[in-house]
Amino acid sequence: MKLKNKEVENLVFRSYLEEIMHKKKFLKMNRYVQHGNTSCLLHSIAVAYYSYRFSKFLKIKVHEKELIRGALLHDYFLYDWHAKYNPSKNVGKHGFIHPKIALFNAYRDFNINTIEADIIKKHMFPLTFEAPKYKESIIVCLVDKVCSLYEVFNKNAYAHITKEVITTKKERRVVARRLNPYY
Ligand SMILES: [Fe+2]
Ligand SMILES: [Fe+2]
């Protein structure tokens, strides 16, 4: 059986996704809302998936592993940013400070390299002043903004992603679990 390009690409995406989804700490992102009804976990998977698809669509040669892993961890800040008292309140506004918190957490929990770190640290550009250095960081910075807007206006965002790349029962259960605001 011959696989189509997109099927092969989805398998590549899945292999990197699986590697990170095995870490329980990464799944903690499912506890927090990003925009609308979308959890930080699903938001991050979507940003990674569309960053990857975008690079394929435009035939941009990228470091695929770094692009996907960096995007998966770009919002790995691990708190509810909507809560009145959240950890970022002590140090600055969430929009400015969360890339640094996500980077700190990613260094602590994952073995990230320079490109992955740049993706995480600079994804909020131009709100944060340092411009992305690598094409992988630029792609994630752009796709993150489009995904964020989409989530604000769609209550059931990314149902198709769940079908295409979140394929095991266990993963589906994790992603579909109801967000618990009291964690
Ligand atoms: Fe972010
Ligand atoms: Fe994001």
* Centre of ligand 1 from the C-alpha of residue 124, in Å: 6
Between the CA of 75 and the centroid of ligand 1 the distance, in Å, is 5
CA of 167 to the centre of ligand 2 (A): 23
- Alpha carbon of 52 to ligand 2 centroid (Å): 15
Long-range contacts, stretch 57-64, CB < 8 angstroms, 24+ apart = 60/135, 60/139, 62/135, 62/136, 62/139, 63/115, 63/136, 64/12, 64/16
Distance 146 CA to ligand 2 centre (A): 10
State the Cα–Cα distance between residues 73 and 68, nearest whole angstrom: 9
- CB contact at 8 A, 122 and 130: yes
Per-residue pLDDT tens listing for the chain (183 residues): 677 888 889 889 999 999 998 888 999 998 888 888 889 999 999 999 999 999 999 999 999 999 999 999 999 999 888 877 676 666 678 889 999 999 999 999 998 999 999 999 999 999 999 999 999 999 999 999 999 999 999 877 887 777 777 777 777 777 776 555 444
Ligand 1 center from residue 4 Cα (angstroms): 33
Model pLDDT, residue 175: 76
CA–centroid distance, residue 1 to ligand 2 (Å): 37
CA atoms within 13 A on the CB side of 159: 3
CA of 79 to the centre of ligand 2 (A): 13
Give residue limits of the domains in the chain.
Answer: 5-176
Among residues 126, 169, 154, 165, the alpha carbon closest in space to that of 46 is found at 165
Gap from CA of 148 to ligand 2 centroid (Å) = 7
User: Phi, psi at residue 33, to the nearest 5°?
Assistant: -80, 135
CATH code of the domain occupying 5-176: 1.10.3210
C-alpha 153 – ligand 1 centre gap (Å): 17
As a whole number of angstroms, the distance between CA 1 and CA 161 comes to: 24
Q: Name the closest ligand to CA 71.
A: 2
Q: How far does the centroid of ligand 2 lie from the alpha carbon of residue 2, in Å?
A: 35
Whole-angstrom distance, CA of residue 103 vs CA of residue 17: 18
